[in-house]
Structure formats: C-alpha cells, structure tokens
Structure 1
Amino acid sequence: MFGAGVLATALVAARLASAALYTDVKQLPTSTFDFVIIGAGAAGNVVASRLTEDPQCSVLVIEAGVNNVGIDSVAAPFLAGTNLPFSSVTWNYSTTPQASLNNRVLPYSRGRVLGGSSSLNFMVYTRGSDDEYNRWANLTGDEGWAWKNLEPFYFRNSRLVPPADGANFTGQFIPADHGHGPVEVSLPSFPSVLDDRIVDTAKASAEFPFNIDFQSGDSVGVALIQATVGGGQRSSSAVAYLEPSLKRPNLHVLIENTVTRLIQTAPVDGKPTFKKVEFAPNASAKRSTVTARNEVVLSAGTLNTPQILLLSGIGNKTELAKVGIKSTVDLPDVGEHMQDHPILSNYFTVSSNNTMDDFTREPALFNATLQQWIVNKTGPFTDPPATGVGFIRLPDNSSIFQNVTDPSAGPRSGHYELVWTNSFAPDVASQPATGHFVTIHTAVVTPTSLGSVKLASSDPFTFPLMNPNFFATEFDRFAMLEGVKGARRFAATAPWQDFIVERFGVMGAAETDDEISAAALDSVVTIWHPTSSARIVLTIWHPTSSARMSPKGARHGVVDPDLLVKGVAGLRVVDASVFPAITACHTVAPVYIVAERASALIKEAWYLK
C-alpha cells in the first residue's frame, strides 16, 4: 500500500546525504557541542532551529526514533493514527491499571520519530485562550508567561495557508489572529457533509456558540477545525522547523539512539551540573557520551523527560532508592502532577452515504484515494479524520460547583470538548460492516485528576510506569457526563434532523446519568482506527505537567520559570512536561509557544544572535 513512500524515502535520503543527519555515533564530527538537545519532537526541533540561526553556535539533537521522511501514514492527514500502537514510529507504552476505569490497562503510545507526536497527532491546532497563559503567569510568578508577553512567540511559530483545494473560507477565520511562522495551518480542503450542519447549529445556538477563530484568545465555542496541514500534507515540527535547518553546518542530528541518563560534570556556582549525555542505539549496545559546553536541553516529552531525570538521580530520593539509583538532586515533584485529556466516542447512524465509512471498508476505494493523495496531494486524504471542534463551558450554576472550585483558567476556556468525525471512529467495538455514521467525541479538557511517571527499574530501556489516573475526581466524571449529554443536545438540533437517525452502540444505549457514567468507564480513551486492526490511544495525546514550572525559590515544581531545573546548573527542560497546568486545548500549539520563548531565553542567556 505504501510502496510510493519507499521511493520518497530514497529520494529524500539522497538529497540529505550531505546534511547533518546521522544514525551512528561514529559519524559525529566531535563529541562536544555548545548545546545538546534530547528529543527531536515538537519542542526540540524548534529550539534546534532557533539556536542554529547563530552560525557560531553548534547544536546536537539526539532522537530515539526514526526519520519521518517518506512515511505516507505520517504525512497523509487522514491516516493520522494508523501507526499506533505497535510500530517503529511509536513508543509502544501502556498505562498502569486505571483504578477509575475498571482497572483497564490502556495503550499510551507517543511519537518515536522525527517530529515526535507532532508527526503522529490528529493535527487539530488550537492555541488556547489568553486565560490559560495568564494562569501560567500567576502559577509561576513570572509575567513572561502572560499572554501579552507570549503573543510574539505564538505569531513566530505558525501561519495560515489556503486549503489544498483552494476553498474560500472567508468568514471562518480572522487573518489578524495568525502569524508568520514555519508551521502551516489550514482549514479543511475536502468538503464534509457535516461542515454546514456544524456551523449552522453553532450560529443559531447559545449553548454551542460559533467561534470564528479559536486563535483569537477566546476558545469557547464551535467551528470547523484548523489543522497543521499545508499543501495537503502534515506540517510537523520535523517538516516545518528541522528539515529546513538541516542545511546549516552547525546543526547535527543523531537519530535511532536513546538517551540513557545525564552524567554529572564539574559543578558550576556550587550547583550540581549535568552537561554530559549518555546514549545507545539499543539495550545491548555500547553506550556513548557527548558533552554540552553551555547547556543540555531536555525535550523528551512528558513521559520521557521525567524518566531521564530520574535515571540521572534527579527526583524523589525515596523513590529512587527503591530502584537502586543514588540521589544526586532531591526533587520530589519529578514525574508528579501529570495531567491528560480523556476522550470517548458517541456514535450516531445517519441517512446519508456521504461519510468516510466506505473509504475505510473498501480496499479498492481506499487505495485509489491514497494514490490520488500520493500523486497530487488532493482528495479526502488531505484532511485529518476530524472536521469540527468545540470547547464548551459548563453552566455557572452547575451542581458540581457547589462543592468543587471551577478548574478552568477563566471564562474564555471550555470545560469539555466536542470533536466531529464524518464516519464511525471505532473504540471498544470494531467498525460495523454496513451503515453510515457520524462520531462526536467528547473530552474533558480541564481535568483535575493528577497522575504520575515513575521508574519501573534502573534499566533505561525498561518502560516507565505511566499512570494518567483518569477520572480519579468527581469533577472529571461530571464533566464527561455533561459532555456526552451536550453532544446529544447538539445532534438533536434542527440542522441534524434530516441527517441523524439514532444513537448507536454502548454509549448510545445508555439513557440515565448513571448508565452514561457506567458506559463511559468502558468507552473512554481507546479507539480502533478505521484503517488499522490495532487498537490505538485517543487521549488526544496530551500528557503534560510531569516536570512543571513553579516560582523561583519554590520548594515544589521541577523547573523555574526560565525552565532551568531547580538546584541544577547546565540543564533546561523544554516540552509539555513544564506546563504548570494543562491547557484546555490541543497541546501542540502551546508546546510551540513554550519552545519559541525558551529559545529566546537561551539565546539571551548565552548572547546568541
């Protein structure tokens, strides 16, 4: 099916033959660089690109995963998710048993490829409301994280481009709310039978108001999605930031090598310092090291960043002792306070045959559509599976607020999310052999449940213990219940009367609040992708806050507001793990914002151009 991708890989490999992309440590020109960046994901590629704008600054990026180039299932937007969970481009993780989900163990994959999860996510682009970042400023005691000061970094990371088919979306976005950066963002290019119904419902609704542009600073409401797609293909951090920078002689990227720990070097200003990085291509291979003259930048993501810190002796000394690791810096918050957005699917049968169900059932149609995308980047596969998105607030008089403080960042942020898919997006049940469907996903975007990342052993090639702790709180369960009921109310509005026939599946059969809540425990989090026989994760891949920022001098937290690890010299963290609180939006845009500001902080600290 993906034969053309092999040819594309060969062509790009030939083009990059002289570029600084390596698979073997012996290919590196030196073992010492000004900066060593761990992880070539959404954040790491931004930092690598920005730092190497100064030609005197040498940077090495170490990435455990493979090259993203030439993998059609990464590049074609509709195929988002087909690489999960058991493939060469993912960390094939699983959670610990989830106590509030009937002790289910859930797949929990992350991107193990250039671009990280920005090469595998569902591409929905929402920066979140201004309230999200103003809360960050309050939590960190640093006005640099307030939106008025972050706005230039947002404009620096992305730009709006026309859809692949050149459709006119006047009135569906605000040009002034978009920037001039390398990540390409567009509205849908292939028309969906849902589009007008979603917009018409929102424009006539008080509960689900139309939001002309989620990048405006107010993220409450409903609209067609803006996605990280340009020219009909995914625009990841690897495509937008890394690939254009590879021509620079001061950037070096070593892939297919896993960082095993950070090694202590000579102290700086009396602080323990970690400027040496140990890594290996696999568990049985000899381990190698490189050294950073200035800093190590840890951008391994919410799951791997705390793992590397813990393996290096940075973390809770009591927990480290349990796995036989000597504590070097006692930071109890490493790996704690992780948050994620749980999601489930609500199915409805429809009277139309203009859904994507037949594309996923009929191999001939699927292959012809894929070939169309390969040849000229047009057709249905130019769009992600989702077509519309909404962030909805619970009413101020909701019963939950009688004994629970509103966990949202402010009135411009939602409590739950609705995401529309023009087909059956299978979860605990496989796709029906016949029929046409619409799926409305519901997600809790202001979760109060806190999870953790802990070491299972001192072996760096043993997966850590990842516990998102879904639905541990009353609020999260309440918000999901209200989300399901909200999806049903949306589907019952006038624009859907000639389209939706009835609810379908386990969730659809649930009537009472108790029945809906019970069904949710068996429906949340995992889905079957329509073009894959493997069950995959749909937590929207949003784990955050496992190495969270806190005020300078605070005893809690892992990094200061400048993203330097507390009590340590020469080590900075730049990825979603530093979020002081999860954002009520898809997290790739906030990660880009964090990475752009981090790059500026690093440049200022080291007097770079």
Structure 2
Amino acid sequence: MHSFISTSLFASLYLINFVSATIYSDPSQLSSKSYDYIIIGAGTAGNVIANRLTENADSKVLVIEAGDVRDGNPYLEVPLLATQLSPNTSYTWNYTTVPQQGLNNRQIPYPRGRIVGGTSSINWLFWTRGSSNDFDRYAQVTGDPGWSWFGLMPYMYKNEKLTPPADGHNTTGQINPALHGTSGPLEISVYGYANELDDKVVQTTKELSDEFPYNEDQNSGNPLGVGFLQASIGGGQRSCSASAYLEPALSRSNLDVLVQTTVTKIYQTGQTGSTPIFRGVQFAQSSSGPHYALNATKEVILSAGSINTPQILMLSGIGDANSLQALGITPVLDLPDVGRNLSDHPLLSNLFAVNSNKTIDTIFEDPAVAGADFSQWESNRTGLFVDALSNNVGWLRLPSNASIFQEVADPAAGPLSPHYEMIIIDGWASIADPQPGYGHWMSLVTNLISPTSRGSVTLASSDPFDAPHVDAALLNSDFDIFTMKEAIKAARRFAQGSAFKGFVTSAYPPLANATDDASLEQYAREHTTTVWHPTGTTAMSACQAGHGVVDPDLNVKGTIGLRVVDAGIFPFIPGAHPQAPLYMVAERAADLIKAGTQLCSWYDRPFWWFPW
C-alpha cells in the first residue's frame, strides 16, 4: 500500500509548528532547568497530564519521550491507513512476546507506540468506553467511588468533542449526542463513508435480535449489542493525544518536551520517616552515551505504558526483590506485583469470501484506485480513507447457561459487560494471515474481552536498552479458549443471516475446515493473535491491600512523589478498546495531581471528589 502516496507529501501534508525551545532532542540543554513535574512518556495519558498541569502557569513541566515528534507522514493522519503503522515500523517499540503456550508456542509481534502521542498516534482509533460495570468494579476493588462510572462521568464529557462525520450524513439512530461531550480536546465521530455492510448489519440485528440486538450508542454504559462504531476521528483525520492535548499546549512557556530520550531509572531523592521519596529521573539516548539526571520538585509521573512503566520501575529497584537481585539490581522497594497481572484481548480474524467488488481490498490490489481515493482524502478529507477499518461493531455475552459457568465464575465485571467483541469489516483484516492478493472479503474479527489468563512483564537484563520479556498469556485458560470458540460460532451465525445470502460465498479455508470443537480449538490456537491492549501491570488496589502497585490516588505504594498514569493501573482489563477509558483516567489523574494527594486518606480529598 505504500506506493500510492508520494513521500513529498510528508512535509507538506502535516507541518507541526513547534514553539522554539519547547521541543528538545539534546538532553544536555536541560542541565540548568528546574521542573515541578517530570512526566515519563508523551503518550495517550502523559500528554493529557502535561496539558492539564500547565494550565497553571506556575507549574513547570517536563515530558520525556523515547520516540520522536510526529513527522508529517500521512499514515499518522489518515484513519484507514492506521493498520500500516504497526507492527515493525519506526513508530513502535516492536516488542515480541515470549512463546505463547496457548497459541501453540507462537511468538506474537507486540508493538507499542514510540512517538509523541504514544499508542494514540498509531492505534486503530476505536472509541469505546466499556460498561458501567467495569468502572463500578474499579471503585469496589479500590474503595474509591471516584473510579465508578458515575464518578468518572464528568471526565468523559470533559475529554470529548463530538463532531459531525466527514460526509455530513444524518446520524440520528447511530449515536446519542446527549451522552457525549462537545467542547473537549479530543474529536470523536461515527463513520464518514458508508459501505455495503452497513444496511446488512442493521437488517441482521432485526432478524437475529435475540442474539445480536441493535444498540444506538454503545458508550452509554451498556455496550451490549451491535451498532455503529465511534472513533477518535474529526474532520476525516486522526485525533490523538498529541494533536488534541500536547500540541495546543506547546505555546506555554512552562512546558518542555524532550524527545529521542530513554528514561533509564527513577532514583530516590530523600525519605520521610521510613517512606522513600522518588523525584529523580535518569535518562540517556543510548546505552553507551552519557547519562543525565533531573529532579522534580513535586512529582514524577510514569506514563510510559503497560510494558515500559513496569520495566522502568524494576530498573529503579522497585519490584520483586528476589527477581531484581538475580539481575544484580539492588532492591529499593519490594513490590512483587510490578509487571504482573498483564491482561490483553486475544484477537481472531474470521474471514469470508464475498460476492462484491466494493470492499476495501481494492485499494490493496489496485494502486490506481488507492491513489484516487487518497487524493480525494488529501483534497477535502472525504471518501474511503476517512474511517477506521470498521463502521460496525458488536459487544456480546455468552448465554447465562453456558457450560463453562459450571466450572468457573463469570469473569466479566457484571451483566452489562461483554465476554467478546465482533468487529465487522468490509474487507480482509488479519494480523495472523497475509492477504492472499485476490478476491474480496468480509472479516468478522472476534476478540476475547473478559479473559481470565494473566501474563507478565519481566526484565531480560539490567540494561535499560534491552527489551523486556513480555508474556501476554493469550488463550491460557479454559474460559478463554471456550469463549473464543463460542465467538467463532456466533460470527458464523451472524454471517448466515438472510442479509448476507448471495453476498457471502464461502469461509476462508482455515475457518471452513473447523467443523467441530476440536478443530475449532486448533483453528483458534493457530490463528489468534492480539489486539495489543496490554493492561494491569501496575494495578490499582485499595489503600491497605497487600497486593497491587498503586493506590487509588495512583501513587506507587510505599513511596512519595511517584505516580503511575497509564493503562497499567487497571486492575481488570476494560471491556473496551482501552484508549477511551485511559483518557478518563488521565483527566481524573490530572485533578488528583493538582490537588496534591499523596496520602491514602479520604480526609485529603476536597468535598467535591465524592460523586454524590
């Protein structure tokens, strides 16, 4: 797909007018600087924190990012081209999992955003909050009602700017505007280019309404059913934390950003009683180059993501003491759960050949068509390229009498939380299977949303420039493989609806050959990958809980001056693509930081913190 876009567009399509002396790429230029807050990671959450903290002109903030600024590459802006940004590009960390036992010992590419904007700059743009049950469970396990659905609702609205779709069509019945913010930084919308599946999907929700009911707005707190996808898109192009939060703040003299620089450790700068204070940050641009250090006067905020944040903590001596000692790292704080509890959403593309010549496969096969469609997008931000991969998505549950519930308790957060997702795509969409280069396809991508498997992030060595070991533990439990098999069966039933008669001609052979439970399991284990939604590696827990990594205020337990604000803090993976939940977390975290909460005590909270 790369051939139809001229590289000469890279500089002209998207110019970032950075303010002089705000963006640094040479760490030595910061030696005389002083900051109240140092944020590690200019990603989805880090940029929110940077924007909100620098609203106070007296707060001086530094953001350190291992990647670079967005370089004007149109792939970073064109929604449909999001799939070209990972894995194995310069914009990601390009990790690879350890062999996955549940996937027949296959190793899976595991990209994470390594660019200003983090994964919000390279993700597939899905805007899904999850269910109210998800957040109410967070409130329950942390003892903090501020993490409930009701408690976070103001931040949902604060973050969003609902915008008209690129084609300006009437969205009545496709989204409920009352459920969304209209003046926030981040733009969201429904699809801006109708495809041939839209009507078929709606017809199927009417015909098979018991299993696939229509849901007007899946971000209401009840996502169950099939509806139109909302995406982080405005005016036909990507909206991300870089464009929505960081870049508008670059005119502020109290914000600096250091790029192309890796944080190698956080270090202790003092002690209050027996509690260590961590306000020092060490960083470098290579393992052999000079190392630099700065101290924050107030806080260090780790927003490096679910893989890099636990890596940095462990390199700093915060983690399981025995594991650290084995690598020659002196333990400073024994916190065994650092890097544990990794939870992700396994993904499986179920592919069907279709009788059509209108699918998105055409742009992969015909450079002339792709070039014309891209020119339309470049000219007026309309046409095929304005949308994410999908216009429609379903969030579904196993029946309450499913046999697996005789063996295990329901792991979903509650009756409004899905067990699996079905993404409906008008074309070939598979990570595990390369596009065959012929024909036209429909993809029903099933993702396991409430997995019980748990993996880990562990250090490979004490070298900060060595990639950590990532074990996503995909399909490692009986519940997970059972649910994935049931999701495959559901996808088949959906594709057999009368709306698809004469349209779907056959299943792709690996799916077609899976005719019983044993072959379904084999098919799932051979073709499942992941949606790349790692969470949980620095999980929140209640103040006095003996497990977890951060308290309900997101302070690293047993420390002063150190917080985590990224997807690692979720104790359970959200029943959603996690970017929308993470924006909510970051918005609330900014208020927690501004309030200066450091002690795990209700008495430190202003009265308006409580959601009553």
TM-score range, shorter chain: over 0.9
1:148 lines up with 2:139 in the alignment:
no
1:258 lines up with 2:249 in the alignment:
no
Q: Provide the secondary structure at the position in 2 that maps to 1:442.
A: strand
In 2 relative to 1, CA 353–466 (structure 1 residues): closer, same or farther, beyond 3 Å?
A: same
1:199 — aligned with what? 202
1:172 lines up with 2:193 in the alignment:
no
Deviation at 1:150, TM superposition (A): 0.9
Report the Cα distance in structure 2 between the residues aligned to 1:464 and 1:203, rounded to whole angstroms: 48
Deviation sequence 1:141-164 (CA, Å, 0-9, x none): 111111111110111111211111
Report the Cα distance in structure 2 between the residues aligned to 1:287 and 1:29, rounded to whole angstroms: 11
Q: Percent identity?
A: 48
Report the Cα distance in structure 2 between the residues aligned to 1:131 and 1:79, rounded to whole angstroms: 33
Counterpart AA for 1:406: D
1:225 — aligned with what? 229
1:32 — aligned with what? 34
Deviation at 1:5, TM superposition (A): 3.8
Report the Cα distance in structure 2 between the residues aligned to 1:433 and 1:195, rounded to whole angstroms: 24
> Map of 1:529-608 to 2, 5 A cutoff?
539-605=530-596
Deviation at 1:83, TM superposition (A): 2.2
Report the Cα distance in structure 1 between the residues aligned to 2:564 and 2:166, rounded to whole angstroms: 36
Report the Cα distance in structure 2 between the residues aligned to 1:288 and 1:515, rounded to whole angstroms: 55
Report the Cα distance in structure 2 between the residues aligned to 1:447 and 1:5, rounded to whole angstroms: 42
1:46 — aligned with what? 48
Report the Cα distance in structure 1 between the residues aligned to 2:136 and 2:219, rounded to whole angstroms: 15
Counterpart AA for 2:173: G
1:532 — aligned with what? none
1:383 — aligned with what? 387
Q: Provide the secondary structure at the position in 1 that maps to 2:83.
A: coil
| Paired residues of 1:550 and 1:558 also in contact (CA < 8 A) | yes
1:346 lines up with 2:350 in the alignment:
yes
When structure 1 is superposed on structure 2, of 152-161 and 586-595 the one drifting more is 152-161
Report the Cα distance in structure 1 between the residues aligned to 2:386 and 2:133, rounded to whole angstroms: 33
> Map of 1:254-333 to 2, 5 A cutoff?
254-333=258-337
Report the Cα distance in structure 1 between the residues aligned to 2:178 and 2:126, rounded to whole angstroms: 19
Report the Cα distance in structure 2 between the residues aligned to 1:282 and 1:8, rounded to whole angstroms: 31
| Paired residues of 1:343 and 1:540 also in contact (CA < 8 A) | yes
Deviation at 1:432, TM superposition (A): 2.3
In 2 relative to 1, CA 359–170 (structure 1 residues): closer, same or farther, beyond 3 Å?
A: same
Report the Cα distance in structure 2 between the residues aligned to 1:100 and 1:434, rounded to whole angstroms: 31
Deviation sequence 1:4-53 (CA, Å, 0-9, x none): 443237842xx224261111123338432000000011100010011111
In 2 relative to 1, CA 171–547 (structure 1 residues): closer, same or farther, beyond 3 Å?
A: same
In 2 relative to 1, CA 369–29 (structure 1 residues): closer, same or farther, beyond 3 Å?
A: farther
Deviation sequence 1:440-474 (CA, Å, 0-9, x none): 10010000000000000000000000001111110
1:234 — aligned with what? 238
| Paired residues of 2:433 and 2:527 also in contact (CA < 8 A) | no
1:530 — aligned with what? none
Report the Cα distance in structure 2 between the residues aligned to 1:194 and 1:118, rounded to whole angstroms: 27
Q: Provide the secondary structure at the position in 1 that maps to 2:126.
A: coil
> Map of 1:22-101 to 2, 5 A cutoff?
22-28=24-30, 30-101=32-103
Deviation sequence 1:561-582 (CA, Å, 0-9, x none): 0000000111000000000111
Q: Provide the secondary structure at the position in 1 that maps to 2:96.
A: coil
Counterpart AA for 1:590: P
Deviation at 1:2, TM superposition (A): 4.2
2:192 — aligned with what? 189
Q: Provide the secondary structure at the position in 2 that maps to 1:420.
A: strand
Deviation at 1:375, TM superposition (A): 2.8
Gaps of 5+ in 2: 598-604, 607-612
Report the Cα distance in structure 2 between the residues aligned to 1:34 and 1:114, rounded to whole angstroms: 21
1:118 to 109, 120, 143: 120
| Paired residues of 1:122 and 1:540 also in contact (CA < 8 A) | no
| Paired residues of 1:2 and 1:72 also in contact (CA < 8 A) | no
1:535 — aligned with what? none
1:424 lines up with 2:428 in the alignment:
yes
Deviation at 1:85, TM superposition (A): 2.1
| Paired residues of 2:266 and 2:312 also in contact (CA < 8 A) | yes
Report the Cα distance in structure 2 between the residues aligned to 1:281 and 1:372, rounded to whole angstroms: 40
Report the Cα distance in structure 2 between the residues aligned to 1:24 and 1:419, rounded to whole angstroms: 43
| Paired residues of 1:413 and 1:584 also in contact (CA < 8 A) | yes
Counterpart AA for 1:592: Y
Report the Cα distance in structure 2 between the residues aligned to 1:315 and 1:201, rounded to whole angstroms: 50
Counterpart AA for 1:230: G
Report the Cα distance in structure 2 between the residues aligned to 1:426 and 1:216, rounded to whole angstroms: 29
| Paired residues of 2:93 and 2:113 also in contact (CA < 8 A) | yes
Deviation sequence 1:182-238 (CA, Å, 0-9, x none): 111111111111111112212331111111001111011111110000011100111
Report the Cα distance in structure 1 between the residues aligned to 2:315 and 2:554, rounded to whole angstroms: 19
Report the Cα distance in structure 1 between the residues aligned to 2:366 and 2:14, rounded to whole angstroms: 30
Q: Provide the secondary structure at the position in 2 that maps to 1:216.
A: coil
Counterpart AA for 1:203: K
Report the Cα distance in structure 2 between the residues aligned to 1:138 and 1:10, rounded to whole angstroms: 44
Report the Cα distance in structure 1 between the residues aligned to 2:31 and 2:191, rounded to whole angstroms: 44
Deviation sequence 1:247-296 (CA, Å, 0-9, x none): 11111111111111001111134311111111112222211111110000
Report the Cα distance in structure 1 between the residues aligned to 2:273 and 2:367, rounded to whole angstroms: 63
| Paired residues of 1:19 and 1:247 also in contact (CA < 8 A) | no
Deviation at 1:120, TM superposition (A): 0.8
Q: Provide the secondary structure at the position in 1 that maps to 2:253.
A: coil
Deviation sequence 1:120-152 (CA, Å, 0-9, x none): 111110101111000001111111111111110
1:397 lines up with 2:401 in the alignment:
yes
Q: Provide the secondary structure at the position in 2 that maps to 1:3.
A: coil
Report the Cα distance in structure 2 between the residues aligned to 1:131 and 1:69, rounded to whole angstroms: 40
Deviation at 1:73, TM superposition (A): 1.1
| Paired residues of 1:198 and 1:224 also in contact (CA < 8 A) | no
1:160 — aligned with what? 162
Gaps of 5+ in 1: 526-538
1:243 to 243, 247, 250: 247
Report the Cα distance in structure 2 between the residues aligned to 1:314 and 1:2, rounded to whole angstroms: 47
Deviation at 1:544, TM superposition (A): 0.2
Aligned length: 593
When structure 1 is superposed on structure 2, of 267-276 and 182-191 the one drifting more is 267-276
Q: Provide the secondary structure at the position in 1 that maps to 2:42.
A: coil
| Paired residues of 2:320 and 2:336 also in contact (CA < 8 A) | yes
Report the Cα distance in structure 2 between the residues aligned to 1:453 and 1:387, rounded to whole angstroms: 34
1:531 — aligned with what? none
Normalised by the length of structure 2, the TM-score is 0.95
1:362 — aligned with what? 366
1:534 — aligned with what? none
Q: Provide the secondary structure at the position in 2 that maps to 1:345.
A: strand
Normalised by the length of structure 1, the TM-score is 0.95
Q: Provide the secondary structure at the position in 1 that maps to 2:219.
A: helix
